Amino acid sequence: PDVLILDNDAVLIQHVLNPEVDGIFADCFDKKCEKHCTASVINTDFLAVRVSALTDFSKFKIWNADIQATHALKNITAAGRDRFLQGTRMYPQCRVRGRGDVPVLHSH
């Protein structure tokens, strides 16, 4: 695996334990949106989704994995059952880098 969950994982655990959250994501463009982020592009290097909220990814025939995931998981973002990690510093490419308080890191 090339994405690590770091020691400061309290925010991830908080979201996982919240029954009103179906997905935890990182936005490829760091739009600073935390919830109900319908304009965000979901980074497929890191995501966590409740199985009960999954849709059929195969019906979305898109060349880019991040765009495909964004479309396939739109039911979660449209319902506001999403939470996006903040401060992931994706620029210039869609890779989780983050500050010291971001609980995930793309490690190569």
Q: For the chain, report the end-to-end CA distance as a whole number of angstroms.
A: 10
In this prediction, residue 1 carries a pLDDT of 52
Split at pLDDT 50, 70, 90, the class of 99 is low
pTM above 0.85, yes or no: yes
Two tokens, residue 18: 């919240």
Across 76-93, average pLDDT: 90
Calpha distance 35→26 (Å, rounded): 11
- Give tens-digit pLDDT for 39-81: 999 999 889 999 999 887 777 678 888 998 999 999 999 999 9
- CA 49-66-59 angle, to 5 degrees, is 75
Peptide bond into 103 cis (omega under 30): no
Across 79-106, average pLDDT: 82
In this prediction, residue 98 carries a pLDDT of 67
All residues at 6 or more sequence positions from 62 whose CB lies less than 8 Å from its CB, including other chains = 68, 71
Calpha distance 68→94 (Å, rounded): 14
Q: What is the mean pLDDT of the chain?
A: 87
Count of other CB atoms within 10 angstroms of residue 32: 11
